[in-house]
Chains A and B, each alone.
Chain A
Amino acid sequence: MKAKILEFRQYSNLFVELVRKGIKLKYRRSYLGVLWSMIEPLLTMIVLAVVFGTLLGYEGKDFPVYILAGRLIYSLFSQSTTNALKSIRQNEGMIKKVYVPKYLYPLSGIVFNYVLFLISLVVLAVVALVLGVMPTPRTLLAIVPLFVLFLLSVGIGLILATAGVFFRDLEYLWNVGLMLVMYTCAIFYYPDNILASDVSWILEFNPLFCVISNFRSCVFGEVMDGGMLLYSFVFSMVTVVIGSVIFSKNEDKFILYI
């Protein structure tokens, strides 16, 4: 354990460099650069708000805020896990030639998406203020579901990164999995009807729904749901433990399969 910490300290600079590289290269050669992190969610929010606002007849003035909050969290989760899944194969060139602690690859992929997410939070703040959703002291508690989401992304990310080395098809399978996650997250609809029905478990057992729901509560200045918070936290911790174990058990074998 002590050796691991020393090793991480030695390679902390590489970790920073990898995160930096992810951010720098994502928007290289685009004119608006990192601004896309704000424009893109704003545009999707408008589309979703128009389509579902009219289709489902949601009248609420703050419906766009509701959508944006959900979508931001979902895309953070989907991008950071997809990044982690591909990370080992993507850095194949490096892995085959020099020794680097391998968890740096999935971890840096997740952290760089978090940094971009923090940038896109600016959009959420602006949209919320424009539509009259004012910040309250409870807004600051949003950091709690975001922390849970980080754990969840790391846990799932480590599992996917390991499995992705041995099963290339996982990348495509995970896309389908993410779609399922998305539809059971109540991103562009209000979950009340489903929560009141017999199939409420579809949402309640989805840890990402719990995270999104609690994040929204913070944004709208409401009280978080304790049960959901506990469930999503425990679920995330379990994935972190499983992820770390299977990753560290297999990392020495990666090089033989990529």
Chain B
Amino acid sequence: MEEIIKLEHVNMQFNLSREKVDSVKEYFIKFVKKDLKYDQFMALKDVSFSVNKGDRVGVLGLNGAGKSTLMKVIAGVFKPTEGTVYKNGVIAPMIELGAGFDKQYTGAENIFLYGAVLGHSRKFMEEKFDEIVEFSELKEFIDVPLKNYSSGMRARLGFSIATVVKPDILILDEVLSVGDAKFRKKSEKKLVDMMDTGVTVLFVSHNLDQVKRICNKAMILEKGSLVAYGDIEEVSNKYKEMIE
């Protein structure tokens, strides 16, 4: 089996400031008082695993277990403090939809901007423009600045742009809750269609039934460590024990 993702001894460490200091005045006062302390926090501890091509891996764990951090490390947003990440193929990271959207830009302008953020050419986006607009059902609002969109509309636009590619690796982080019930159904169907083309999937969810339905493998993260990785049945039983 071909390995498409491989992590070796990945550590991820953050500096957490105890309180958010965002004004210069506050910063200056704290700086003078030497009150700017950071806590070090290990979000991922020595995580190693590999994923074969075509696997659909469910990522389970309680809040704060490091699931999203792990997804961001694989997507390349974070560079691990230690360890290495190998990946082979085009990744569609559906982690936070609409990263890079500009509120002053209209929907249409944001399609091109977000497309560029995801690494697509303008020509490609021009070809896919109608498809995106149609899927998002935002035709009449497409020339309205994004700041006038509702959060559901923004999410729909983000989802429609992110799913327009044919990726090798699909990272889904709690995105199956986009928009209203109707759109949710439609987006779930689209994702299932994408999965059927044989892409590798990393699927983060708290919904165990959903994970069991979609995935053939699963992993459990606990406080940043990988505590279980293997067949879906085995791991989901373990997870059930864990949460009870």
Chain A: residues with CB nearer than 8 A to chain B?
Answer: 10-11, 13-14, 16-18, 21, 24-25, 28, 93-94, 96-100, 168-169, 172, 252, 255-257
- Given the known inter-chain contacts A96-B77, A97-B95, please indicate yes or no for A25 contacting B102, CB distance below 8 A: yes
The reply to whether B105 and A94 contact each other, CB–CB distance below 8 Å, is no
**Which A residues touch B24, using CB under 8 A?**
168-169, 172
The reply to whether A14 and B77 contact each other, CB–CB distance below 8 Å, is no
The reply to whether A14 and B117 contact each other, CB–CB distance below 8 Å, is yes
User: Which of B102, B117, B118, B121: most chain A CB closer than 10 A?
Assistant: B117
The reply to whether A21 and B117 contact each other, CB–CB distance below 8 Å, is no
Complex Cα–Cα for A98 and B79 (A): 12
**Which A residues touch B117, using CB under 8 A?**
14, 94, 98, 100
- Given the known inter-chain contacts A98-B118, A168-B27, A169-B24, please indicate yes or no for A256 contacting B99, CB distance below 8 A: no
Complex Cα–Cα for A17 and B105 (A): 12
The reply to whether A98 and B105 contact each other, CB–CB distance below 8 Å, is no
**Which A residues touch B232, using CB under 8 A?**
none
Q: Which of A13, A28, A168 is the one whose CB lies under 8 Å from B122?
A: A13
Interface of A is mostly: helix
Q: Say if the beta carbon of B218 comes within 8 Å of chain A.
A: no
Q: What 6 A-B pairs have minimum CB-CB distances, sorted nearest first?
A: A97-B99, A99-B76, A14-B116, A17-B116, A252-B79, A94-B100
- Given the known inter-chain contacts A17-B112, A168-B27, please indicate yes or no for A98 contacting B93, CB distance below 8 A: yes
**Which A residues touch B77, using CB under 8 A?**
96-99, 255
B72 CB to nearest chain A CB (Å): 8
Closest to B17 in A: A257
**Which A residues touch B15, using CB under 8 A?**
256-257
Closest to B119 in A: A10
The reply to whether B75 and A99 contact each other, CB–CB distance below 8 Å, is yes
The reply to whether A25 and B122 contact each other, CB–CB distance below 8 Å, is no
Q: Say if the beta carbon of B104 comes within 8 Å of chain A.
A: yes
**Which B residues touch A256, using CB under 8 A?**
14-15
**Which A residues touch B75, using CB under 8 A?**
98-99
Closest to A25 in B: B104
The reply to whether A13 and B99 contact each other, CB–CB distance below 8 Å, is no
**Which A residues touch B104, using CB under 8 A?**
25, 28
B21 CB to nearest chain A CB (Å): 9
Known: A98-B99, A100-B117. 8 other contacts (CB 8 A): A13-B116, A14-B116, A21-B105, A21-B109, A25-B104, A96-B77, A97-B95, A169-B28
Cβ contacts A to B, 17 pairs, < 8 Å: A13-B116, A13-B120, A16-B116, A16-B122, A17-B113, A17-B116, A21-B102, A21-B113, A25-B105, A28-B104, A93-B99, A94-B100, A99-B75, A100-B100, A100-B117, A252-B79, A256-B15
Q: Which of B27, B79, B95, B100 is the one whose CB lies under 8 Å from A169?
A: B27
Interface string of B69-82 (1 = CB under 8 A from A): 00000011111000
**Which B residues touch A21, using CB under 8 A?**
102, 105, 109, 113
User: Which of A10, A16, A99: most chain B CB closer than 10 A?
Assistant: A99
**Which A residues touch B27, using CB under 8 A?**
168-169
Q: Say if the beta carbon of B174 comes within 8 Å of chain A.
A: no
Among B8-31, those with CB < 8 Å from A are 14-15, 24, 27-28
